[in-house]
Structure 1
Amino acid sequence: MMNRRHTLLGFATAALMALAPVAQAAEPLSVVATTGMIADAVRQVGGDEVSVKALMGPGVDPHAYRQTRSDIVAMTRADLVLWHGLYLEAQMEDFFHDLERKRDVVAVAEALPKDALRTHDDYADKYDPHVWMDPELWQQVVGSVQVALTEARPEAAATFAANAAAHLQDLDRLTDYGKLLLEQVPAENRVLVTAHDAFGYFGQGYGFEVMGIQGISTQSEAGLNRIGELVDTLVNRNVGAVFVETSVADRNMKALIEGAAAKGHAVKIGGELYSDAMGADGTYEGTYIGMLDHNFTTIAAALGADVPAGGMDGKLGAGH
C-alpha cells in the first residue's frame, strides 16, 4: 500500500511539473560593435551571455566608413551599441551622438586617460585612435567593455569579471611575446614604414621609429613631397623593408618602392599588416590576439629577428 501511494504521488508530482511553466534562460544580450577589435573584446568578456555583430569586417577602413541602412536597423534594435571613439569612426560621429539619446551607446576608448594618448601635428585637437596596437593599452578598453556589459546586464557581472580576467592574462602573454620577439630586431633596423600612421602606439610600446605615408587618418592625402621625403629616408638610412596594410590601398607604397629603386636602393615588401581591421572571420588572425601575433611576427621576421614558426602559439596561417 505504501509503495502504491508513493508511486501515485510520484505520478502526480511529475504531472504538476509538466504543467508548471518552465523558467526560460535569458536571451543573449544583443550587442553591435563598430570594429572587429571591439567585437572580439565583447566575445571574450561576454561569452555565452552575448551575441555580437561587427559592422566593419576584414579590410574595411573605419576612418571612411559610413553606416548603411542595415547597420542602422541593427543598431536601433540592439540592447547595446559599442563604438571606439577618439574620432576613429569619423563619418559616423553625428549618428552616434544622435543614437545615444535613444539607445545604450558607449564609446569604449574615450575613457582612456588623455596622458596615455598620442597627439599629432596633422590631427589638430584630436588624439591618435589606434590604441589597439599596444595590448597593454588595449587592456583598458577591454575594461571599458566589461563595464558596459555589466551595466547592461548586471546579473551576469560575475561571469563578465571572470571572462575579462582570463582574457587579460592572455593579453599579458601577448605583450610579453611581442617584447621578447621585437627586442631581437637589431637597433638599426627598428624603423617601421607603413601606408598610414596607425602604428604609433606600437612604436612607443616596442621601441620602433614609425613612419606612415599618410597621416593618422586615411582621409589625409599623401603628397608627392611626403613620398619624396620617405624615399630619401629609405635610401639614407638603408631601410630594406616596408609594409602594406590590409585596409589601405598599396598604390602609395608602390610609388615609394619605385622612388627608392630610381635612386639605386632596393626595398622589399616586408609583409602585409593588420592596421584598422582584423583578419578573415573564423581564422586565428580574425581575433585580436591573432591580429597582433601576426603583426609582431611579420615585423620581426622582415627586420632581422628569428621568429617561431606559426607565431606565439603556432596558430598563424592555420585557418582557425
Structure 2
Amino acid sequence: MRKLLAFNLILCLLAGCQSEQASVPEKSPDQEQLNYPIPVAATVGMVADLVKNVGREYVDVTQIMGSGVDPHMHKASRDDVQTIMNSDMVFYSGLMLEGKMADTLIKVARTKPVFAVTELIDPKSLLEPDDFNGHYDPHVWMDVATWSLCVDAVKDALSQYDPRHAEVYQKNADEYKQQLKTLHEYGLKTIKSIPENSRILITSHDAFNYFGRAYGLEVLGVQGISTESEAGLKRINELVDLLVAKNVKAVFVESSVSKKNITALIDGAKAQGHEIVIGGELFSDAMGEAGSYEGSYMGMLDHNFTIVARALGGTAPEKGMQGKLTP
C-alpha cells in the first residue's frame, strides 16, 4: 500500500478537510462581503501561475518563493507568514515539495482555506522512486498533461470560495487547459526529434523523472529527488562512466540548484578524454524571472523542451514554440 504523506495527513487532520491534501471551508464566505480581487498566496511559481490563469481579474496572487528559490530548502520567513496571513486563500503544490513550510501551512489551515493543487491527480499517475522513502516524486509539473489536472483543482477551490464567478472560472480553466495541450504536443514533437541514442538527460538532481516518462528520455540526476540529498563520489563516478560509454555530448544545470555537481561530471569525463558541454540551464523547481516569458509555466516548459531538444541533436525553433524565448 502506498504511504500517505505525513505532512498532508497532519494538515488535513488539523484543518478538518474533506480531501487528503486540501483545507476546504464548510461554506463559502458571505458573497456580499467578498472583496475583489481576492488576495491569494501561492508557494511556488508553477502554482501561482495556475491560480492566475484560472482566477484572472478576480484574484490578486502573491508568490512566496521567487525565481531561483529552491522549495525543498525554503523555510517560511516572517514576511512569508505575513503574506499568508494577509491572504484569504492559500495554494501550495503538495507531495512534500514545500516540506519545510509544513508547520506554517498547518497552522494557517486552521483559520482559512489551504489547497494542494495536486489533490486531483490519480496516485497511479505519480512516481514513487525507490530512494524516496515511500513518498511520491513532487515534480509533477514536468509532465504537462498530468499537471493540467491541477487546473481543475484550482478551479474547484475558487468556485467553492466564490460561487458567484464559478462559470467564469470554468471558462478560464477550459481555455488554459487547451493552451497546455498545445504545449504538451510541442514537447512530444521536439523531444522525438532527438536521435534515439541521444535521448539521455543528465541534470543536477532528479527533478525530471516525469519529464522523461512523458516525453521519452532516459533521465539521470546527480542528486536525489530533494536537493537536501548529497551526491556521493560513487554516484558521480558512475555517471562519468556512463557519459563516456554512451558518448553523451551535453549535460544540464538547473536555475535553482548549485552547478558544482555538474561541473564535477564534466571534469571527470575530461579526465577520461571525453569532452562534454553544458547544454543549457533548465528550470526545475522554480520558473524564470518574474515578468519574463520564462517566468510563466508555459514559458518555463517551452524553454526546457527547446533547450533539451537543440542541445541533444534534435530540432526546435531557436525562440521556442511561440517565438518568445529570451535569446
For normalisation by structure 2, the TM-score amounts to 0.88
CA distance in 2, matches of 1:136, 1:56: 24
Quote how far apart the aligned CAs of 1:260 are: 0.4
In the other structure, the counterpart of 1:34 is: 43
Aligned length, in residue pairs: 296
Quote how far apart the aligned CAs of 1:26 are: 4.1
Opposite residue 312 of structure 1, the aligned amino acid is: M
**1:174 aligns to 2:171 (yes or no):** no
Opposite residue 126 of structure 1, the aligned amino acid is: H
Unaligned runs of 5+ residues in structure 1 are: 1-22
Unaligned runs of 5+ residues in structure 2 are: 1-31
Quote how far apart the aligned CAs of 1:24 are: 10
Give the aligned CA root-mean-square deviation in angstroms.
Answer: 1.3
User: Which whole-Å deviations, capped at 9, do the CAs of 1:206-228 have from their partners, x for residues lacking one?
Assistant: 11000000000000110111101
**1:212 aligns to 2:221 (yes or no):** yes
**1:136 aligns to 2:164 (yes or no):** no
User: Which whole-Å deviations, capped at 9, do the CAs of 1:166-195 have from their partners, x for residues lacking one?
Assistant: 100100100111111111100000000000
Opposite residue 61 of structure 1, the aligned amino acid is: D
Larger radius of gyration: 1
Query: Sequence identity, in percent?
Result: 49
**1:262 aligns to 2:271 (yes or no):** yes
CA distance in 2, matches of 1:225, 1:281: 38
User: Which whole-Å deviations, capped at 9, do the CAs of 1:93-140 have from their partners, x for residues lacking one?
Assistant: 122122211111111113321110001111112000000001100111
In the other structure, the counterpart of 2:309 is: 300
Which of 69, 79, 84 is the matching residue for 1:70?
Answer: 79
- Structure 1 segment 160-199 matched on structure 2, within 5 A: 160-199=169-208
SS of match in other structure, 2:129: coil
**1:61 aligns to 2:70 (yes or no):** yes
SS of match in other structure, 2:130: coil
Identify the range of structure 1 (103-112 vs 136-145) with the bigger mean alpha-carbon deviation. 103-112
Which of 134, 157, 166 is the matching residue for 1:148?
Answer: 157
SS of match in other structure, 1:97: helix
CA distance in 1, matches of 2:101, 2:203: 25
For normalisation by structure 1, the TM-score amounts to 0.90
Which of 121, 139, 162 is the matching residue for 2:130?
Answer: 121
CA distance in 2, matches of 1:26, 1:222: 49
SS of match in other structure, 2:315: coil
Quote how far apart the aligned CAs of 1:309 are: 2.7
**Does the Cα contact within 8 Å between 2:188 and 2:215 map onto a contact in 1?**
yes
CA distance in 2, matches of 1:65, 1:216: 15
In the other structure, the counterpart of 1:253 is: 262
